[in-house]
Structure 1
Amino acid sequence: MRKCRSRHVLCVAFCLFLIVLFEHGEGVNDEGLTLLEFVKGVDDPVGVFAGWNVADPSPCNWTGVSCDANGQVMKLALPNSKLSGHISAGLSGLQHLKILSLSQNSFIGSIPSDILSITSLWKLNLSRNEFSGIIPKGSLPSLRMLDLSKNAVSGSIPSELFQSCGKLRYVSLANNQLVGSIPSSIGTCPKLVGFDFSANKLQGAIPRDIGNLPSLLYLSLERNYLSGQLPRELGSCSSLQYLDLSGNLFFGEVPIELKGMSNLSILAMQENFFLGGIPAEVLYLPLLQYGNFSFNLFSGKMPAPFSSSCNSLQVLDISENNITGALPPTLSQCSMLKFVNISHNKLSSSLPANLGLLAALHTLDLSNNQLSGNLPAEIGDLNQLAVLRLGANAINGRIPPEIGKLELLQILDMESMKLEGSIPSALKNCQFLLEVNLSNNNLSGTIPEQMNNMTYLRSLQLDHNNISGSIPSQLGELYHLENLDLSFNGLTGEIPSSLGALKQLNHFNVSYNMLTGQIPRSGILQIFNSSSFIGNPGLCGLPLALQCGPFSAPPTVNQKRTRVLSVSAIVAITAAVIIAAGVVVVTLMSIRALKGQKTELFVYESAPPSPEAEIIIGKLVLFSKSIPSKYEDWEAGTKALLDKECVIGAGPLGTVFKATFDGGLSIAVKKLETLGRIKTQDDFEQEVGLLGNLKHKHIVTLQGYYWSSNMQLLLSDYVPNGSLFDHLHGRQPTLGWGRRFKIALGTARGLAYLHHDCKPRVLHFDIKSTNILLEEDFEPRISDFGLGKLLPMLDTYMSGRKFHNDLGYVAPELALQSSRLTEKCDVYSYGVVLLEMVTGRRPVENLDSDVIVLCEFVRSSFEEGRGSSCIDPALRSCPESEIMQVLKLGLVCTSQVPSRRPSMAEVVQVLELIKPTIDFREASS
């Protein structure tokens, strides 16, 4: 209010001053008055206009104002001046104005249509403000440059803007909220050098008329909803140097005519739906420096370079496609290559030895392919290499000692291959290493003591190998280490106390080895729970809740994997309980296989009321030590697990109960009501038993199962914060954008683990928001995975009214008996969950006798240009650009054609590229 009063007083004083001046025949000229009129609607906190004096005869010496030789205002430039408010229409009085630049301020409101009546304008720059409304219709025949980027301008691009554009050279409308199509009239601007329409909501195809722009050097259309096939006419833009089509919905094959863009140096086509092969003539354009073709559906063999056809190429990214065949040996001709990423494809054969000729290479990522053969020693010739990712291939043999020649190496990823032999001690020469991942191989030998030379190391993963010997105490000198995983090996001896000094450590795992002795009492290791140490029968100490003493001797080799409780002891215990309590508690056998942490117990389904009653004995299998396995804990039989007061959920598989033990530990128990296609106990145990070894942050760990002829139970982690469905559709929704994105990314990572890291892969077939459970910090955990054979038959499932809402998640091919069911069914269901999180709507809704299917509703809204209207009103204050990208990803995942859907690994990478600005206070509160 005080600010408004002060402005009012200034205005009154200003008017009185003008009256006095006019009475004496003095004061600024008409153009000066026009500029002073402009000032009235502007807030000037830093005093830019302090020198704009009404008593001056001319405004030519005012800040930001320039005049021509005739004293007429030709330029008004006040960029980055912290100005705000509205721009008055009065500026149209400056009829000789050539340059108007008000960029990087905080102006609001609509762009005055009168500005388009200043026919003398050469340059109009209103970028980086907060303008809204639509772009005024009209043309500026003298205009050379137009920049309205980074505002909140909406509506469509007026075709009139390019109807008199004979002098127009550059136009940018990027980072707005524009909808509709690109006007074909832009093809009538013969001198146009560049235009940038990126980061909007534009739809439709690229106009073929763009091929009529012979001077075009720069074209950016990234992050829109443009679709259709690329016009062949683009190839006529022979002067084009920069072309960015990424993050759209383009499809079809890349036209061979694009080879006509012979001057192109930057080509970005990632995150679309391009099909077929990549033409070699386009991939290896003669002046191309940067080529990104990732996250598409390209297939066929990777093209080989022509002779001297790729001398300029520095960055080549073809990751996340379906490229097959061998890595072309002639790639070594691209001598300037610094970055190569062909990960997540289907490349086969061995690595060509002449890769070592790429002397400038900084990053080589060939992970997640089907490469085989040995690692060539010539890989050590890549002496500029900083990142080497070869994981998830079938490469075998030894790690060549020449790896030590890569002295600049920072990331070494060779996980999940078939490597043998020992870890070469020459690795010590790579002293700048930050991450080393050699997990899931067949490596043997010992851990080199010289690894302490890698003083910057943050992550060391050697798990799931056959490494023996002791843990070198020198590892305690790696003070930057955050992740140390040595689990599932044959390590012996004690855990060195020096590891307690690793203060940065946040992940530590030495489980399932043959370690002995006491876990070091001092230092960081005491913060880790028992899961970091289990599977080492000779270990004792606080994290394992096993007291160390004179009777705690290390196990023999024969005791390492199996610990058997004698049958006679079990019979004696059982008899004593029956006689003393009159309640049958039977434990006939307990076999603890520490490799899988499996304990088998035979228990009664219920305590028989009399000796004559029929006794039903079931088999209870526990996968983890975290669940008590003593007979006292199960003396009430299965009734201890199925308290009707503790029902916490129900679904197509059955009812879920919460069971709590005396020590406070709680588990979730699902009483199965259907076995689907499972017919026998052996089938059941084979199907469920494979799931006991699966461990990931974002999946619910299966703790065990129970089988009898009358009852089947699944025992799993109890997740305390309910399901995603509860928090989205409950009475008081608690999910802001930060939490929703956190759940989306975590769920994608969990599914990617099941699809890509598990061997054999695990499919879900029942992804929905009720099966995404939330921890107290809202980290998601996927439940009911790998149970597809236990689900009801599809016809029964679809006819049951109880599961009507669930059908919104079902991929269309599931309804076709002849269709091959793949992981793309899970991708479809996950896409529905994304749409559910962004819109706040259920997958299927009944409104006034009309059924609304969420996927169809969102897709039709996009086709009508109303995509943003689908966003949950609770997210209106959140960053719309990020939300719209996730919404778009949901539509891609729910494509009707399975091959058009991305893999879950691709989904994870897309979400990580979005990188939202999460309010961590909101995301954790």
Structure 2
Amino acid sequence: MKSSTAMMALFSVFMIAGCLGEDTLQLNDDVLGLIVFKSAIDDPFMHLSSWNEDDTSPCAWNFITCNQANSRVTEILLHGLSLSGKIGRGLEKLQFLKVLSLSGNNLTGSINPELALINGLERLNLSQNSLSGNIPTSFANMSSLQFLDLSMNSLSGPVPDNLFENCLSLRFLSLSRNLLEGPIPSTLTKCTNLNHLNISNNHFSGNANFSPGIWSLTRLRTLDLSTNQLSGPVPDGIKVLHNLKELFLHGNHFTGSLPADIGLCPHLSRLDFSDNRFSGEIPGSLQRLKVLNFLSLSNNLFTGDFPSWISNMNILEYIDFSKNAFVGSLPMSMGDIKPLNFLSLSNNKLTGNIPKSLVYCSGLSIIRLTGNSFNGSIPEGLFDMGLKEMDISRNQITGSIPPASSRLIESLQVLDLSGNNLTGEIPAEMGLFSRLSYLNLSGNYLESRMPPEFGYLQNLTVLDLRNSALVGSIPGDICDSGSLAILQLDGNLLTGPIPKEIGNCSSLNLLSLSHNNLSGSIPKSISLLKKLEILKLEVNQLSGEIPQELGKLENLLIVNISHNRLVGRLPAGSIFPNLDESAIEGNLGICSPLLKGPCKLDVQKPLVLDPYAYGNQTGDQNRRNGHSRSSTDGFTHHRFLSVSAIVAISASVVIVLGVILISLLNASARRRIAFVDNALESMCSSSTRSGSLAAGKLILFDTKSSPDWIGTSLDSILNKASEIGSGVFGTVYKASLGGDARRIVAIKKLVTANILQYQEEFDREVRGLGKVRHPNLIPLRGYYWTPQMQLLVSDFALEGSLQSRLHERPPTTPPLSWSIRFKIVLGTAKGLAHLHHSFRPPIVHYNVKPSNILLDENLNPKISDFGLTRLLNKLDKHVLSNRFQSAPGYVAPELTCQSLRVNEKCDLYGFGVLILELVTGRRPVEYGEDNVVILADHVRALLEQGNALDCVDPNMGNYPEDEVLPVLKLALVCTSQIPSSRPSMAEVVQVLQVISTPVPQRLEGF
């Protein structure tokens, strides 16, 4: 690289050359232009070393092609050379340049608008760099351009609407994988010769300018609009695209039916409509696509019978109809699709048997049928194929697991048969699957022993055999491979000791053996599991003391050893000194101040216990006074009199309290009736005055709160100016009680669809929620009800939501410190734990996200909108779909593949994502340079690389690494893809309290 002085001199010569004209320095124009361009480039591997400013012609330089007739540069091909720097000046001087490729480098900065001065440029490829800024408007003048690829950069902003004014020559256009936004330019329809259009993985929004827009580009062969924010229906008219071979619309917000004439594009080979909100039935014209080999309709709202004509499309290689509402059975002729490689029909409502003819699809590699109602047995032929993945979980499959052929043994990597009605033995040859990494047989009735051959599974990382009626002992060689990360054997009939060889599971993160009949002591070898994060041994017959060596497990986040026969002191290190009562209760004598029972130590010599040591203060006093019991009868009589006296006194107290309570309730009822009457009278008069609403019923649980706010007319409250937020369940407004500006409340206007329509039911559920009180929950103060409108009244949070404080913070507001963020995490966990563990059935929030975490004047978190699913007739697919749209990244993955089974584990997933958002300051789903960035996956990858702290929000300032790192690890445990691997909220609170404990205190023993 030249010195800056030499470059300035060269640049001056370049400017002089431009002033003197072409005839003066014609032979040097290309040399000077390329050297000036090179001056802004960093070339670490000296690829451009042959570029010498002393040469009279660049035609002999590397990566340069010239026209032999006039020796002028026509092509510059610099792709994949690890160049960095910026695209500076100089190239515009190469007026004979036809092809410029700078792709696959590390170039930064904006695109030089002077590139548009190269009048004859036909091919421009700047893809796979780190270019930023807007697309220059000057590109609209490049009328000779045939190929333009700006993909895989960080270009942003809207695309200039006039960009394609002169695009008649354009054949290829790719703007994919950038940060572009706004509408698709209307001038794009002028590119009538366009063959390939790819604007995927951006933020384009609005209607996609379909017919007579993009549908007018009749020469298109590839159209990719995927992974944007385009919406609206896709109209008919696609049949005019006679040449279309590939159509990708997935990952948008399209609605309505598929175009009925889609089958009239005879050359279509690939179709992807997945991840939208398409509905209705599949158009029958699809079966006319005789060359279609890829078809994906997954994650939409399609209904109707599974198309029986699918087997006529006999060159299909990829079929994905998952996450819809298809019904009916699969045609027995499915085997006619011989080339089929990938088949996913998961999470529909399909019934009947799995077609045996699938065995004729000799190329089948992946089959996913989970979450349907298939019955019958597993076709034995499936276990004779070369499958890589077989998932038929959560169906109604019966019979036994077929024996596997040698072909399957050599190929299978994932096997999930969980949640069925399978019986019989686990085949011993399962231990021979050489490539198997995931095995889940949970939730069946196998009544089998665990094959000792499981220890041969060299690549197995997940083994889930929960609730399968397994008997016998745990094989000692189960961890011989050393690759197992998750071992779950809960809820079986296993007996015998935990094998000491468990210490060979060096990669284990989760060990769960709870709810069995395991006996003996906890082996010391568990202390060798340095990666262990979760240890669950509750409800067994384990005895003896807990090995002190377990205190060396620094990564432990969750431990539960309750309801065993354990005694003695807890280990002094790790999480053990801070275990809460629920994790250790139900044992013979664990030494903990949380437990009321005796502290028993497991010593070698016999221990003589004093029968008066516990629970007999009278005996203690007698011994201290030197008295002895002269007679057993006398002692018995004394105890009988004491108990009788206690019973009599207790009965008297209960009677008195009962009388007082009944009196208070009667008085309260009279006050409440009077209050409701006054409220109703107020509302009726208000309704008469306003004329906008039928008379409704207002109930405020706190009778000191005046209902006068309703008298000011709901129209003046429920308007756009008062709106402060909206979500899945309705819109929230800000209002004052009785016109008092100091008594501000939040009013949620519920969506009327699917809400309980009988006031008695609604009243019962809302009153139940109104009784929920906790410092970290927003209390529900009352409700207003008519058949046409339902409102909920709750407290107003002065500091707004965590969403606005974290992501919409004005520059004058300081960022949240670590101590505040941790307080929000811990408070939110306590609030959710109260909902999950203090009520039966538990109250599941279902919608945990920052906009539902409100902050009071001291920035204490308060959870809002809890328990609203109880107000629904049912949690239908429409509600779930709205949830996915309103809170991307927060929805637990199992909700996409289960029949609306919402439980506490779903809240755990959302809480884990919320932790990650608080620690990193980033949103749960973001668009990166190359792809959509899922925050949980991003943090998990950094943690595995040892760089987890690289993702911490830089705005947070100083923070204690010994707190932030375990909080990140806890978040990743909460966002586990396997629901059972997530902890309970009580365990989360326990872990957070350990993290917040000063280090010296953590190390103290009992």
Q: Does the Cα contact within 8 Å between 2:844 and 2:866 map onto a contact in 1?
A: no
2:126 maps to 1:78: yes
| Residue matched to 2:654 | 605
How many angstroms apart in 2 are the aligned matches of 1:721 and 1:778?
A: 6
Alignment of 1:708-723 (within 5 A): 719-723=774-778
The 3-state SS of whatever aligns with 2:326 is: strand
Identity of aligned residues (%): 26
One-letter amino acid of the counterpart of residue 239, structure 2: G
The 3-state SS of whatever aligns with 1:273 is: coil
Q: Does the Cα contact within 8 Å between 2:778 and 2:864 map onto a contact in 1?
A: no
The 3-state SS of whatever aligns with 1:468 is: strand
How many angstroms apart in 1 are the aligned matches of 2:154 and 2:871?
A: 49
2:367 to 312, 316, 329: 316
How many angstroms apart in 2 are the aligned matches of 1:468 and 1:425?
A: 15
Q: Does the Cα contact within 8 Å between 1:86 and 1:107 map onto a contact in 2?
A: yes
How many angstroms apart in 1 are the aligned matches of 2:918 and 2:88?
A: 41
Alignment of 1:826-905 (within 5 A): 827=875, 882=889, 902-904=900-902
| Residue matched to 1:258 | 310
Instruction: Rate the CA distance shift 1:605–1:269 in 2: closer, same or farther, 3 A.
Output: same
How many angstroms apart in 2 are the aligned matches of 1:779 and 1:441?
A: 40
1:97-132 alpha-carbon deviations (Å, 9 max, x no partner):
211223324142344345154212111222234142
TM-score normalised per structure 2: 0.58
1:448 to 490, 496, 499: 499
| Residue matched to 1:276 | 328
| Residue matched to 1:189 | 241
| Residue matched to 1:733 | 800
Alignment of 1:632-651 (within 5 A): none
Q: Does the Cα contact within 8 Å between 1:201 and 1:225 map onto a contact in 2?
A: yes
Shift of 1:732: 4.2
Alignment of 1:408-419 (within 5 A): 408-419=459-470
2:175 to 126, 141, 145: 126
Segments of 5+ residues of structure 1 without an aligned counterpart are 1-12, 29-44, 579-583, 587-601, 618-650, 657-712, 785-805, 813-824, 839-867, 872-879, 894-899
Shift of 1:201: 1.3
How many angstroms apart in 2 are the aligned matches of 1:549 and 1:503?
A: 26
How many angstroms apart in 2 are the aligned matches of 1:913 and 1:286?
A: 45
| Residue matched to 1:640 | none
2:142 to 94, 101, 119: 94
Aligned length: 686
How many angstroms apart in 2 are the aligned matches of 1:174 and 1:444?
A: 54
| Residue matched to 1:368 | 419
Shift of 1:448: 1.5
The 3-state SS of whatever aligns with 1:179 is: strand
Shift of 1:337: 0.7
1:567-599 alpha-carbon deviations (Å, 9 max, x no partner):
978776678889xxxxx963xxxxxxxxxxxxx
Shift of 1:440: 0.9
2:191 to 140, 156, 163: 140
| Residue matched to 1:630 | none
2:394 to 344, 348, 354: 344
How many angstroms apart in 1 are the aligned matches of 2:894 and 2:462?
A: 30
**Relative contact order, CA 8 A, sep 6+: which one is greater?**
2
Instruction: Rate the CA distance shift 1:99–1:909 in 2: closer, same or farther, 3 A.
Output: farther
2:593 maps to 1:538: no
The 3-state SS of whatever aligns with 1:299 is: strand
1:658-706 alpha-carbon deviations (Å, 9 max, x no partner):
xxxxxxxxxxxxxxxxxxxxxxxxxxxxxxxxxxxxxxxxxxxxxxxxx
The 3-state SS of whatever aligns with 2:495 is: coil
Q: Does the Cα contact within 8 Å between 2:396 and 2:420 map onto a contact in 1?
A: yes
| Residue matched to 1:232 | 284
One-letter amino acid of the counterpart of residue 504, structure 2: N
How many angstroms apart in 2 are the aligned matches of 1:750 and 1:280?
A: 49
How many angstroms apart in 1 are the aligned matches of 2:389 and 2:427?
A: 19
Instruction: Rate the CA distance shift 1:20–1:471 in 2: closer, same or farther, 3 A.
Output: closer
The 3-state SS of whatever aligns with 1:526 is: helix
Instruction: Rate the CA distance shift 1:497–1:328 in 2: closer, same or farther, 3 A.
Output: same
The 3-state SS of whatever aligns with 2:478 is: helix
How many angstroms apart in 1 are the aligned matches of 2:466 and 2:806?
A: 31
How many angstroms apart in 2 are the aligned matches of 1:249 and 1:833?
A: 11
How many angstroms apart in 2 are the aligned matches of 1:25 and 1:214?
A: 58
Instruction: Rate the CA distance shift 1:312–1:168 in 2: closer, same or farther, 3 A.
Output: same
Instruction: Rate the CA distance shift 1:272–1:446 in 2: closer, same or farther, 3 A.
Output: same
Worse-superposed segment, 405-414 or 434-443? 405-414
Q: Does the Cα contact within 8 Å between 1:423 and 1:447 map onto a contact in 2?
A: yes
How many angstroms apart in 2 are the aligned matches of 1:768 and 1:151?
A: 27
Shift of 1:501: 2.0
Instruction: Rate the CA distance shift 1:238–1:764 in 2: closer, same or farther, 3 A.
Output: same
TM-score normalised per structure 1: 0.62
How many angstroms apart in 1 are the aligned matches of 2:495 and 2:699?
A: 46
| Residue matched to 2:80 | none
Shift of 1:396: 1.1
Shift of 1:242: 2.1
One-letter amino acid of the counterpart of residue 900, structure 2: P
One-letter amino acid of the counterpart of residue 142, structure 1: N
How many angstroms apart in 2 are the aligned matches of 1:331 and 1:751?
A: 47
The 3-state SS of whatever aligns with 2:299 is: coil
1:160-192 alpha-carbon deviations (Å, 9 max, x no partner):
345554532111112222222224333222222
Shift of 1:615: 11
| Residue matched to 1:802 | none
Worse-superposed segment, 363-372 or 274-283? 274-283
One-letter amino acid of the counterpart of residue 284, structure 2: R
Instruction: Rate the CA distance shift 1:777–1:293 in 2: closer, same or farther, 3 A.
Output: farther
Q: Does the Cα contact within 8 Å between 1:290 and 1:314 map onto a contact in 2?
A: yes
Instruction: Rate the CA distance shift 1:125–1:283 in 2: closer, same or farther, 3 A.
Output: same
How many angstroms apart in 2 are the aligned matches of 1:229 and 1:493?
A: 63
Q: Does the Cα contact within 8 Å between 1:203 and 1:224 map onto a contact in 2?
A: yes
How many angstroms apart in 2 are the aligned matches of 1:546 and 1:751?
A: 26
Shift of 1:831: 7.8
One-letter amino acid of the counterpart of residue 901, structure 2: S
1:179-226 alpha-carbon deviations (Å, 9 max, x no partner):
222243332222222121121111122223221233222222221111
Alignment of 1:581-596 (within 5 A): 586=650
How many angstroms apart in 1 are the aligned matches of 2:575 and 2:870?
A: 45
Instruction: Rate the CA distance shift 1:46–1:354 in 2: closer, same or farther, 3 A.
Output: closer
Instruction: Rate the CA distance shift 1:545–1:50 in 2: closer, same or farther, 3 A.
Output: farther
| Residue matched to 2:268 | 216
Q: Does the Cα contact within 8 Å between 2:256 and 2:279 map onto a contact in 1?
A: yes
Q: Does the Cα contact within 8 Å between 2:368 and 2:392 map onto a contact in 1?
A: yes
How many angstroms apart in 2 are the aligned matches of 1:615 and 1:910?
A: 43
1:249-280 alpha-carbon deviations (Å, 9 max, x no partner):
11112212222332322222222111122335
How many angstroms apart in 1 are the aligned matches of 2:799 and 2:23?
A: 70
One-letter amino acid of the counterpart of residue 143, structure 2: Q
How many angstroms apart in 2 are the aligned matches of 1:267 and 1:97?
A: 38
| Residue matched to 2:509 | 458
How many angstroms apart in 1 are the aligned matches of 2:232 and 2:218?
A: 24
How many angstroms apart in 1 are the aligned matches of 2:529 and 2:259?
A: 58
Q: Does the Cα contact within 8 Å between 1:125 and 1:148 map onto a contact in 2?
A: yes
| Residue matched to 1:51 | 90
Q: Does the Cα contact within 8 Å between 2:589 and 2:600 map onto a contact in 1?
A: no
Instruction: Rate the CA distance shift 1:456–1:156 in 2: closer, same or farther, 3 A.
Output: closer
Instruction: Rate the CA distance shift 1:84–1:235 in 2: closer, same or farther, 3 A.
Output: same
1:599-642 alpha-carbon deviations (Å, 9 max, x no partner):
xxx8943767xxxx97999xxxxxxxxxxxxxxxxxxxxxxxxx
Instruction: Rate the CA distance shift 1:111–1:184 in 2: closer, same or farther, 3 A.
Output: farther
The 3-state SS of whatever aligns with 1:402 is: helix
Q: Does the Cα contact within 8 Å between 1:516 and 1:537 map onto a contact in 2?
A: yes
